[in-house]
């Protein structure tokens, strides 16, 4: 991944990341502490799977928010302890009063809480939206199972000249397996049974070529949304 090509990653941020590319970090919190990037840059890189050695995107976003919101705290009110359990607070606080927990160093609490965050990814739709937003293209997954999985980039009706009625829909698609862009036509009767819109992900069950005036067009005959 070329860092200079990512929207929201400045030249200075890219150079900082290059400085740390061979550094061995024990945890994602150590990354956040060491590498001074702004919130927009961190979130973009996380969604683009730049930090996958530390976990999946949804988990890393949760860790980043946790650290931003709690790393400078020295006390936590007993009336508002969330997201931490009372057991964790009792285990890691340095002292407590009737109303508060006090911490000489809150990081051990954060590290222990992180173990409870499930290692889950953001949705495929969110991931593709991030790629389009920050890279301006959809990255190929390289998976054979994704060869027929398409992402709808645009869709518009095809109208007959005779009566201006819609007879089909033209769909601009990126197939995720190889990152290949294609234009497909869906007959209106089929489209009405399963309507697609920009941003939808679908599985192409049947695609058929049709030749017209020396040109070949591809028709999406059957599909289902994912």
Q: In terms of domains, do 115 and 186 share one?
A: no
Q: In terms of domains, do 111 and 180 share one?
A: no
> How many other C-beta atoms lie within 10 A of the C-beta of residue 192?
11
Which residues pair with residue 185 across a beta bridge? 170, 219
Residue 196 lies in a domain: yes
Q: In terms of domains, do 60 and 142 share one?
A: no
Residue 83 lies in a domain: no
β-pairing verdict for 215-225 and 180-187 = parallel
Q: Give 211's DSSP letter.
A: E
User: Which tokens hold the place of 65?
Assistant: 């928010």
Residue 201 lies in a domain: yes
Closest alpha carbon to 197 in 158, 156, 159, 136: 156
| pLDDT tens per residue across span 164-194 | 999 999 999 999 999 999 999 999 999 999 9
Q: In terms of domains, do 191 and 112 share one?
A: no
φ/ψ of residue 118, rounded to 5: -65, 140
Q: Given pLDDT bands bounded at 50, 70 and 90, which one contains residue 21?
A: confident
Q: In terms of domains, do 147 and 214 share one?
A: yes
Report pLDDT for 105: 96
N-to-C CA span, the chain:
27
Of all residues in the chain, what percent carry a pLDDT higher than 70?
100
State the DSSP string of 85-130: -HHHHHHH-SEE-SSEEE-S--HHHHHHHHTTS---PPPHHHHHHH
Q: Is the pLDDT of residue 26 over 90?
A: yes
Q: Give 134's DSSP letter.
A: H
Cα–Cα distances (Å) from 117 to 71, 106, 161, 206, in that order, read: 17, 17, 57, 40
Report pLDDT for 214: 87
Q: Is the pLDDT of residue 34 over 80?
A: yes
For the entire predicted model, the pTM comes to: 0.85
| pLDDT tens per residue across span 113-153 | 999 999 999 999 999 999 999 999 999 999 999 999 999 99
Q: In terms of domains, do 7 and 111 share one?
A: yes
Cα–Cα distances (Å) from 138 to 72, 79, 134, 172, 194, in that order, read: 37, 46, 10, 13, 24
Q: In terms of domains, do 117 and 174 share one?
A: no
User: Which tokens hold the place of 124?
Assistant: 């495929």
119: domain range? 3-71+106-124
Q: In what order do the strands lie in the sheet with 95-96?
A: 75-77, 100-102, 95-96
What is the rounded average pLDDT for all residues in the chain? Answer: 95
User: Which tokens hold the place of 221?
Assistant: 């005959």
Q: Is the pLDDT of residue 212 over 90?
A: no
Report pLDDT for 32: 96
Q: In terms of domains, do 119 and 10 share one?
A: yes
Q: Given pLDDT bands bounded at 50, 70 and 90, which one contains residue 5?
A: confident
């Amino acid at each position: 991944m070329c860092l200079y090509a990512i929207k929201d990653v400045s030249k200075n941020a890219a150079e900082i990341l290059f400085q740390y590319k061979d550094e061995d970090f024990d945890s994602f919190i150590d990354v956040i502490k060491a590498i001074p990037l702004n919130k927009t840059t961190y979130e973009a890189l996380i969604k683009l799977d730049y930090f996958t050695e530390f976990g999946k995107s949804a988990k890393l976003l949760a860790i980043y928010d946790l650290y931003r919101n709690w790393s400078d705290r020295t006390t936590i009110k007993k009336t508002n302890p969330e997201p931490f359990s009372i057991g964790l607070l009792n285990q890691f606080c340095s002292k407590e009063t009737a109303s508060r927990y006090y911490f000489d160093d809150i990081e051990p609490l954060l590290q222990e809480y992180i173990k409870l965050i499930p290692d889950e990814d953001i949705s495929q739709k969110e991931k593709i939206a991030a790629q389009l937003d920050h890279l301006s293209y959809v990255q190929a997954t390289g998976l054979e199972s994704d060869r027929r999985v398409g992402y709808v980039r645009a869709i518009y009706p095809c109208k007959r000249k005779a009566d201006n009625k819609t007879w089909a829909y033209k769909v601009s698609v990126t197939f995720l397996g190889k990152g290949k862009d294609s234009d497909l036509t869906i007959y209106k009767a089929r489209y009405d049974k399963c309507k697609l819109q920009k941003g939808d992900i679908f599985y192409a069950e049947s695609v058929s070529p049709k030749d017209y005036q020396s040109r070949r067009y591809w028709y999406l005959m059957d599909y289902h949304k994912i």
